[in-house]
Amino acid sequence: MIEAERTADVRLEGVVKSFASAVALSGVDVRLPAGRFSVLLGPSGCGKSTLLRLIAGLDQPTEGRIWQGETRIDTLPPKARNLSMVFQSYALFPHLTVAENILFGLAVRRVPRAEQARRLDRVAGMMGLSALLGRKPAELSGGQQQRVALARAVISERPVCLMDEPLSNLDAKLRTEMRAEIRALQERLGLTMVYVTHDQVEAMTMADLIVVMNAGRIEQVAAPRDLYARPQTLFVAGFIGTPPMNLIPRAALPELQVPPATATVGIRPEDMATDGPGYRVAARVVGLEYLGADQLVALNLNGARVILRLAGQAGPPGEILTLTLPADRLHVFDAGGRRIDADHPDTSSHRVLHQEILHDPLLPHESGNRGPDRGTVATRLGRRS
Amino acid sequence: MLRREWLVALAFLAPALTLLFTFTHYPAIQTVIDSFWSTPRGRRPAAFVGTDNYARLLQDPIFVRAMVNNAIYAAITIPASILLALVMAMFVEGRIRGRALVRMAYFTPTVLPLIAVANIWLFFFLPGFGLLEQLRSLLGLSPRNWIGSPETALYGVSAVTVWSQAGFFMIFYLAALTTIPPSLREAAAIEGCSRWTFFRRVTWPLIMPTTLFVSVNATINAFRTVDHIFVMTEGGPNNASMLLLYYIYAQGFRFWDTAYAATLTVVMVAILALVGIGQFFLLDRRVHYR
């Protein structure tokens, strides 16, 4: 494989996609780094698949530019973009054998037979398909079909690989296996992976970088641990985590010490405790889900419904619990749904920041090829990277 | 117990079976029997003549002419209808302005009775005034009597057949094309597959079952639909547009030579059966069924 091609990243600048009756993407700026596993995560209808199709060239953006390395690709047809794609439905040709399916692209591009055979041999071996090459897709299991689709992407030896919810048609066990397999493959080949999913477990387990999307906008771009530890918006806080973060109205916690602009206080179910240091508040137990290792206790906290995660061995809780909310575990959000950082130097500017961040890439730009410097954004994000 | 179930089943099947036997199977068998007997005339009853009727076939120049004509007619109408149907289906499958209208327009000839279609085409072919004549006169060409001259009559009626059945076949192709997932086209586009290559390597193999179905139907139609011959040429001029089924009709109901008509019918059924079975087994090996 050509080493120079492997370094291509994918950048989107001000990408807008409008359909006749709706706006699917409104101003997306993001950089998906070379050789890394990026996941586009969001609820259905958030525009993540549209974004992937724009990168693939299957749809054209209404506005904005898309770059692959130093090449502007949004004006190129799909075949001229140096990328491969795995579809949710696998898009295998039902009348062709596994070998013909895998070699389809090479045959179309008239790669010499000897080279086709050599590459097929290697990829089939890598994907464990060597014994199945003569079969038709209908004679394969879901997992095997998935592997064929992956093999077809891999054999093209293109540096960028796009995947649109590739695991959603598989059963839970197979999905876990394939997650590990796809991640291993990406690392082994150094692919720039762009992976669309609505499954946060997939995103958290596989990604180097998660791009959380909602309603056609990017909410946050961060590594999985940062995303979980420091959600930047209420949406991200309420989306990531199973069960998600408890989001409690400020009014329900009258004496809690928080910045004045605070509208919502968030705390993860496992961060609350029944003892130890922190803000103490009484809550009434309204429900219990026992999961074995854990139990999830539903509580009424001054009218707000919160979930507390307790260890499974702890035994059933009583009627009333005294909760402790450790100060360093609190996430505070303003009325606009934007995170307020206690350590942020200028809390009054967060409204402006809110506007900017939704429109701008959240990753720092090492190359500095992105026009005017957004000091505040870069500084605050620089800390996280 | 089993016996009882069989009886009940038979009782339910009886009405359909009765109709089927009375109007399909009995006449078919009777036709085969009749072909070995002479035609009863007046007080002279039918006599067993063995294969005399079949011997007469081979000596009959009009029968030979009808067979040759039918072969030409089939060779024109089958591929032309299929090709036209496929082209129309691919055209109206894409995103074009007024797609519903175009689809309806293409399908309209199928809804029209063939007799009405024949009358429309009579006007197209009308010497001196018809549509084709007007086009020819615009180009400064001399007038022609398309269906009145022996050289062109067969091609004239062939054109009518293609026009009237292509829209019907288009519907099947359209249905087949819409079952091909768009992701296949997208996957191929990313691989750098041209439209023609995609058609040749993906679309065509995937619509092969439809092609088989349509070609069997077109073949049957080539021997079966002769309504327009009645209106347009009556097999003429000088048997130039004589087709097998029309010849059967002429023998049976113009000349009342029913035994000879029965013989011709047996020949036609044999041809259709052979073609149908042949097509099925020949194409079946190259057809991918999902």
Which domain range does residue A297 map to?
A: 246-333
How much of chain A exceeds pLDDT 70, in percent?
87
Last residue of a domain, one of A201, A229, A257: A229
The dihedral sign for the CA sequence B216, B218, B222, B228? positive
Q: Do A56 and B190 touch (CB under 8 A)?
A: yes
A12 in any annotated domain: yes
Question: What Cα–Cα distance (Å) separates residue B66 from each residue in A150, A380, B263, B278?
Answer: 59, 90, 14, 22
Task: Quote the CA–CA distance of A97 and B206 in Å, as a whole number.
Answer: 14
Nearest Cβ partner for A89 among B183, B206, B290: B183
Claim to verify: residue A262 and residue A366 sit in the same structural domain: no
pLDDT averages per 10-residue partition of chain A, 385 residues:
59 89 87 92 90 91 90 88 90 92 91 91 89 91 90 90 89 88 90 92 92 92 92 92 90 84 91 85 90 91 90 84 88 90 45 38 40 36 36
Question: CA of B93 to nearest chain A CA: how many angstroms apart?
Answer: 18
Do both A73 and A25 map to the same domain? yes
Number of domains comprising chain B: 1
Q: Which residue in A88, A95, A156 is closest to B288 by CB distance?
A: A95
pLDDT given for residue B18 in this prediction: 94
- In contact, A233 and A217? CB cutoff 8 Å: no
Give the domain extent around B235. 64-242
**Does one domain contain both A360 and A220?**
no
If phi over 0 gives left and psi between -120 and 50 gives alpha, with beta otherwise, what is residue B93? Answer: alpha
Tokens (6 digits) for A327: 């100060």
Q: From the CA of B192, how many Å to the nearest CA of chain A? A: 4
ipTM field: 0.75
In a domain? residue A13:
yes
Question: Which residues of chain A have a CB within 8 Å of the CB of B288?
Answer: 94-95
Rounded distance, CA B78 to CA B90, Å? 18
Which of B187, B192, B194 faces A87 most closely, judged by CB atoms?
A: B187
Residue A113 lies in a domain: yes
The sign of the dihedral angle between the CA atoms of A49, A51, A56, A59 is positive
Residues 6+ apart with CB under 8 A from B167: B85, B88, B106, B107, B108, B109, B110
Interface contact A78-B189, CB threshold 8 A: yes
Give residue for tokens 């730009």.
A365
A98 and A178: one domain? yes
Element (H or E) spanning A362, and its range? none
**Same domain, yes or no: A250 and A208:** no
Q: Which CATH number belongs to the domain containing residue A267 in this structure?
A: 2.40.50.140
In chain B, the largest separation of any two C-alpha atoms, in whole Å, equals 82
Closest Cα in chain B, distance from residue A275 (Å): 55
Instruction: Verify whether the Cβ–Cβ distance B190 to A89 is below 8 Å.
Output: no
Residues A176 and A285 in one domain: no
Chain B CB within 8 Å of residue A178 CB? no
CA distance linking residue A85 with residue A160, whole number of Å: 9
Looking at chain A from residue 106 to 145, which residues have their Cβ under 8 Å from any Cβ of chain B?
108-109, 138
Q: What is the pLDDT along chain B (290 residues), one digit of tens a residue?
A: 678 899 999 999 999 999 999 999 999 999 898 888 888 887 788 788 878 888 888 888 888 888 899 999 999 999 999 999 999 999 888 777 888 888 888 888 888 888 888 888 888 887 777 787 778 778 777 777 777 788 888 888 898 889 988 989 999 999 999 999 989 999 999 888 888 999 999 999 999 888 888 988 898 888 887 888 888 888 778 888 888 889 999 888 888 888 889 999 999 889 888 887 887 777 666 666 55
The count of CB pairs under 8 A between chains A and B is 64
Distance CA A124, CA A122 (A): 6
Q: What is the CATH number of the domain that holds B102?
A: 1.10.3720.10
Q: Which amino acid makes up residue B109?
A: P
Residue A109: its chain B contacts at CB < 8 A? Answer: 191-192
- Please list every residue in chain A whose beta carbon sits closer than 8 Å to the beta carbon of residue B191: 79, 104-105, 108-109, 156
Q: What are A232-280's pLDDT values in tens digits?
A: 999 999 999 888 999 999 888 888 888 888 899 999 999 988 888 888 8
- The tokens for B204 are 């065509």
Question: Which residues of chain B make contact with A58, given a CB cutoff of 8 A?
Answer: 186, 189-190
**In chain A, whose CA is at the least distance from the CA of B183?**
A91
> Among all residues of chain A, which has the CA nearest to that of B196?
A108
Percent of residues in chain B assigned helix, strand, coil, to nearest 5? 75, 0, 25
Q: Is residue B41 part of a domain?
A: no
The beta-carbon neighbor of A109 closest among B181, B192, B290 is: B192
Quote the number of domains for chain A.
Answer: 3
> What's the Cα-to-Cα distance from A351 to each of A239, A261, A357, rounded to whole Å?
22, 11, 10
Q: Which residue of A has its CA nearest to B188?
A: A105
CA nearest A235: which of A366, A37, A43?
A43
Whether A319 and A203 map to the same domain: the answer is no
Closest by CA position to A91, among listed A174, A163, A197, A176: A163
Strand partners, A311: A294
Question: Tell me, what's the pLDDT at B288?
Answer: 60
Q: Does A83 touch chain B (CB under 8 A)?
A: yes
In a domain, B224, yes or no: yes
| Closest Cβ–Cβ partner in A79, A94, A138 for B190 | A79
